[in-house]
Amino acid sequence: MVIAQLNDRWRIVEGASQWILMVRKGRSTNRSSGWRARSFCVSRTALLRCVGQISDRVDPNAIEVLQQLSDVHPRSIRPTRGKPS
């Protein structure tokens, strides 16, 4: 699921346990959408840092969406394993 479209070349999608910064490389074909994963981030802080490193202009509305995300990806926290009580 696309969380934020930063511009024509960059977007953030939600993975199973992290947010993924993706870049569009080339054109989409029958075999490929053209999107390539660039960074995998569990924390919002890391995600914003990665977004800050791209040189293209980023839509301010997309940054606002990212700032509203939880501190860590909701499914990245695994329960600890231990003896059942």
- Nearest Cα to 58, choosing from 18, 23, 14? 23
Q: Is residue 82 part of a domain?
A: no
Q: Is residue 84 part of a domain?
A: no
User: What is the percent of the chain with per-residue pLDDT over 70, rounded to a whole number?
Assistant: 82
49-61 mean pLDDT:
93
Structure tokens at 11: 């977007």
Q: What is the DSSP letter of 24?
A: E
- Nearest Cα to 52, choosing from 1, 12, 8, 2? 12
Give the range of the structural domain holding residue 24, as residue numbers without chain letter.
2-67
Q: Is residue 62 part of a domain?
A: yes
Confidence of residue 25 (pLDDT cuts 50, 70, 90): confident
Q: Is residue 47 part of a domain?
A: yes
Is residue 80's pLDDT more than 60? no
pLDDT given at position 34: 87
Confidence of residue 83 (pLDDT cuts 50, 70, 90): low
Q: Is residue 81 part of a domain?
A: no
52-72 mean pLDDT:
94
